[in-house]
Amino acid sequence: MVQVFWGLWLFPLGYLIFKSAIIPKFLGILLMLGCVSYLINFLGNALFSNYADLGISSFVRLPATLGEIGTCLWLLIMGAKNNAISVE
């Protein structure tokens, strides 16, 4: 059940990153896809008893992994640069 909420917060975060000009848009898209992938994994584990044995859960979680780690690395290496125009 925790996995549902773990994934649901990725959609608003991904949307905010997609709309901002501070972090690249592809990371926002990956985070929004990551939200869907967490929900697919939850439903797969809940509905199918052998879902973990199929081996597709690691491929389904790939957008979430790339988006989360990519965002962390982007902020760590590049930082959040302020592109705001100063008002005089």
Residue 43 included in any domain: yes
Task: With H, G, I as helix, E, B as strand and everything else as coil, classify residue 16.
Answer: helix
Number of domains in the chain: 1
- The structure's pTM equals 0.80
DSSP per-residue string spanning 21-88: SSS-HHHHHHHHHHHHHHHHHHHHHHH-TTHHHHS-HHHHTHHHHHHHHHHHHHHHHT-----PPPP-
Residue 88 included in any domain: no
Structure tokens at 8: 């649901």
For the segment 29-81, what is each residue's pLDDT rounded down to a tens digit?
Answer: 999 999 999 999 899 888 988 887 888 888 888 999 999 999 999 989 887 66
Residue 8 included in any domain: yes
The rounded radius of gyration (Å) of the Cα atoms in the chain is: 16
Residue 87 included in any domain: no
Structural domain harbouring 52: 2-77
Residue 30 included in any domain: yes
Please answer whether residues 68 and 29 qualify as being in contact, where contact means their C-beta atoms are separated by less than 8 angstroms. Answer: no
